[in-house]
Structures are given as C-alpha cells and as structure tokens.
C-alpha cells in the first residue's frame, strides 16, 4: 500500500512563498534579544513547554465519540468504522490519546496539524497517521486544487491530495493554513530564553557578575592570566574561594546586579506573556501569584470555555469535513465530551442533581451516568422521572385547575 505519490519537481511559485510567509518560514529565527527561536527549540523554554503540555494533554484526555443524529437528540455511532479510529486507536501503533497529543503539539507550535488518511479501494478509512508539520507545505495547482507536499526522512518530497489529509489549522489569514504562534511571538519567547541564558551564565560564574583584573604594570600574556583566573574561580563549584592576587593586582567588579536588572521580575513577566500567547491561566503552569481558592475554579472553567473550546471546534469541524463524506455529514458528527472538565465540586454537583431530579429533567440513571456509575434496573425505577406534586402546567394554572386530573 502506497502512502505517498512522489513529486518530481518542486513548485517555487508565488504560492510557495506565500505559504512560507503564512508558516513564518520567511521570518528570521533570530530574535532581537540575540536568541535563536524556532518551533523546535522553543519547547526548551519552560513556559512554552508547560503551556503546550497542558493544552495538548487536556485535549488528548477528552473522549471524542462519533454521534448519529436522531429526530430528537443523538446517540453514539459505535457501529460506524470511524468511531473506533477517533475514539480508541487511529492506527496499529497509537492510542487515541497519543494521536491527539501529537497532533495538538504540532498545532500549538506550528499552527497546523496534519494526518495522512489511509483508505481501502472503496474509500473507507482504515487508519490515520500524524505527519510532522515542519515538513509539510500547502500550495494550490493551476486548477486551484489544494496540494500537500511532504518531505520524508530521506529528504524526498511527495504530494498528497486533499482527500488524503486530515488538516487542522489554527488562526491564519486565508482560513486554510494557520500561523505559527512561535513565529508570531518570537520576540517574547526570545526574551524569555535570554533571561534563562543570563541566569545560567550568572550562576556559572559563581553567582557573581563579571569583573576586571587590574595590574599596575604591563602584562606580557593577559590571556594566560585570564584563563588561569577562570580555571580557579569561575563556576558555581568554585564560588566563595579566597583569591590570591600577586604583583599588586586588583579585582574590580563590574556589571549590573540582578536586583538592579529586575531579573526575577522579567522572568515572571515573560511567563505571563507566554501564558497570554497560548491563553493559559498562569495557575495551570505553576504560577499561583494571583490565584486564590475562591477564583481557581472559575479560572478553570474560563480555561475550558475560552482556551480549549476553540481548539475543540477546530478538531470537530475538521473531522466532519475531512473524514465524513457529504452524505454522512447529514447523519453523523464528531463532538468532544467536556463534562469531566466542567464538573464542579461534590456539593455543587449534588445540589444541581437535586434540582434536576425534583423538577423532572433528571432520572436516577441520568445522574448515575454523569457520575460514571452503573444504572439502576428499570424495574426498580431507575428511569422514572419525578415532578413536584404541587406543580401544574401553565395552561391549567390559567384556567384555575390544579387537581390531580389536570396536573
């Protein structure tokens, strides 16, 4: 079974250059802080790694069933071949969690996630295989058809048609290819990286700023003196050693102390800046500076609604568009289940269930299903809906009726 169609000639047209602009490839990876920032090495910045990990793992942990529409409501389409692929295992080597996590990592760093669709001769989907976003280029041919060009490990480029790719794109200009968040926010991430390097070098020097050795005469070999000094006194392991200065030499400390440079404040601000880029509440990456027990629950709900929800909609609509044909879309759709992330504490859940139970829109089994408990047999009243006996319909109330026959 062939996965790719080999492309003999690359297209270096204006569309290619536009694609590079959209992906941020035409922007210099060197930030103004002097740090080289790319999608690959940005993950070494703790704030970036923490934000990407939080979002990728949260989305990967959410169930993703395929549903079938009913005249009223929906049901899980467990017999549809696509259900197992997106809910349990997209291919023989991956779980659904690993697949979604890998796709989200590419999506968060490069702004696009791609997976190759393997079909049988009848067009039925057999498996899904994630592809590296860094090796994919999206262009259009002369007829306007979208073409995906992918470079494999050997450096060979292959082309894939639109029906062979599951493409999930982030925010962008053309509605097809997403922008790389790392490329857009290169300066902010570069500054965070620069502060880390500055701190590392500071402690490598024994937590002391740089200095100057002053000699009253003329040194024949100043390089040798400097190297000798650094060998003995440089590094955290050599901190607080007693220096011996000969021939009237003097040591003068130079450089701005970290307190004056507001080192800690800069690192704190850059962490918040990175959280702002990914729209992640700081408390989820370990910054509890402005978090309290009273607002963390609301921040977590806000995170689900405003951070995760847009990504989930992109996933759902991409699956419906790329993995379902035009006839199946009328009856089937994919939808994440976020109930687990939106659950309140035990007391709040029980109060909500009590209101639903007393007013007739929850049965005992409805509540037990939400709490991941086995149902009560139907003969024991597990599916019975109860209502308050003092309540009547609005029509009967207007007519003055409230007896049992009219209730």
Same-domain status, 26 and 60: yes
Mean pLDDT of 133-160: 89
Sign of CA dihedral 353, 359, 362, 363: positive
Mean pLDDT of 160-176: 92
Same-domain status, 329 and 217: no
List the structure tokens of 61. 């942990």
For 172, the 3-state DSSP assignment is coil
Q: pLDDT value at position 406?
A: 45
pLDDT band at 165 (very low <50, low <70, confident <90, very high): very high
Instruction: Choose among 291, 295, 315: nearest CA to 55.
Output: 315
Q: pLDDT value at position 359?
A: 83
The angle, 0 to 180 degrees and rounded to 10, between the axes of the packed helices 309-323 and 96-110 is 110
- Statement: residue 66 has pLDDT above 50: yes
d(CA 125, CA 118): 6
Q: pLDDT value at position 391?
A: 66
Q: pLDDT value at position 11?
A: 46
Same-domain status, 4 and 22: yes
Same-domain status, 160 and 245: no
Same-domain status, 222 and 312: no
Lowest mean pLDDT among 24-38, 149-163, 223-237, 333-347: 223-237
Q: pLDDT value at position 75?
A: 93
For 303, the 3-state DSSP assignment is helix
Same-domain status, 78 and 149: yes
List the structure tokens of 386. 């109860």
Q: C-alpha angle 123/125/127, rounded to 5°?
A: 145
Q: Which of 189, 220, 254 is the last residue of a domain?
A: 254
Instruction: Choose among 29, 20, 40, 26: nearest CA to 138.
Output: 20
- Statement: residue 115 has pLDDT above 80: yes
Q: pLDDT value at position 313?
A: 96
Lowest mean pLDDT among 63-72, 248-257, 313-322, 374-383: 248-257
d(CA 310, CA 340): 17
Same-domain status, 2 and 24: yes
pLDDT band at 291 (very low <50, low <70, confident <90, very high): low
d(CA 284, CA 251): 46
Lowest mean pLDDT among 6-10, 108-112, 224-228, 302-306: 6-10
Q: pLDDT value at position 17?
A: 53
Same-domain status, 287 and 354: no
Which position has the token pair 């809910």? Answer: 87
Mean pLDDT of 68-97: 94
Same-domain status, 95 and 226: no
Lowest mean pLDDT among 167-176, 191-200, 209-218: 209-218
In a domain, 287, yes or no: yes
Instruction: Choose among 304, 313, 265, 264: nearest CA to 284.
Output: 304
pLDDT band at 344 (very low <50, low <70, confident <90, very high): low
Q: pLDDT value at position 298?
A: 77
Stronger pLDDT, 378 or 60, i.e. the higher one: 60
Same-domain status, 14 and 72: yes
Please give the residue range of the domain that contains residue 390. 343-398
128 φ/ψ angles, rounded to the nearest 5 degrees: -130, 135
Q: Which residues contact 46 (CB under 8 A, 6 or more apart)?
A: 196, 271
Same-domain status, 295 and 247: no
From residue 50, give the alpha-carbon distance in Å to each of 21, 102, 113, 249: 27, 15, 19, 48
CA 306 to chain centre: 13
Same-domain status, 290 and 162: yes
């Amino acid at each position: 079974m062939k996965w790719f169609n080999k492309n003999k000639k690359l297209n270096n047209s204006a569309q290619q250059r536009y694609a590079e602009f959209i992906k941020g490839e035409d922007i210099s990876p060197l930030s103004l802080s002097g740090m080289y920032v790319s999608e690959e090495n940005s993950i070494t910045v703790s704030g970036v790694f923490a934000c990407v990990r939080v979002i990728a793992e949260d989305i990967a942990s959410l169930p993703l069933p395929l549903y079938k529409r009913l005249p009223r409501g929906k049901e899980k389409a467990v017999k549809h071949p696509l259900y197992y692929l997106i809910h349990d295992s997209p291919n023989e080597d991956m779980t659904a969690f690993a697949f979604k996590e890998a796709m989200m990592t590419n999506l968060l760093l490069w702004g696009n996630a791609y997976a190759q669709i393997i079909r049988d001769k009848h067009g039925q989907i057999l498996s899904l295989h994630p592809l590296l976003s860094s090796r994919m280029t999206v262009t259009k041919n002369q007829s306007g058809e979208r073409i995906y060009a992918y470079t494999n490990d050997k450096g060979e480029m292959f082309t894939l048609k639109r029906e062979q790719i599951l493409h999930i794109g982030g925010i962008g200009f053309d509605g097809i290819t997403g922008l790389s968040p790392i490329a857009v926010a290169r300066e902010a991430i570069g500054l965070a990286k620069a502060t880390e390097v500055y701190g590392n070098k500071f402690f490598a020097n024994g937590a002391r700023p740089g200095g100057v050795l002053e000699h009253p005469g003329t040194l024949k070999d100043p390089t040798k003196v400097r190297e000798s000094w650094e060998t003995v006194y440089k590094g955290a392991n050599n901190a607080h050693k007693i220096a011996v200065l000969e021939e009237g030499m003097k040591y003068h400390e130079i450089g701005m102390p970290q307190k004056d440079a507001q080192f800690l404040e800069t690192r704190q601000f850059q962490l918040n800046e990175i959280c702002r880029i990914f729209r992640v509440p700081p408390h989820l990456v370990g910054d509890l500076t402005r978090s309290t027990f009273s607002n963390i629950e609301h921040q977590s709900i806000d995170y689900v609604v405003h951070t995760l929800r847009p990504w989930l909609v992109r996933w759902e609509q991409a699956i419906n568009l790329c993995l379902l044909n035009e006839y199946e879309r009328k009856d089937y759709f994919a939808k994440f289940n976020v109930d687990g992330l939106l659950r309140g504490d035990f007391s709040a859940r029980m109060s909500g269930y009590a209101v639903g139970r007393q007013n007739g829109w929850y049965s005992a089994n409805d509540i037990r299903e939400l709490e991941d408990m086995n149902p009560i047999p139907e003969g024991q009243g597990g599916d019975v809906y109860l209502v308050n006996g003092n309540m009547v319909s609005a029509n009967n109330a207007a007519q003055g009726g409230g007896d049992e026959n009219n209730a």
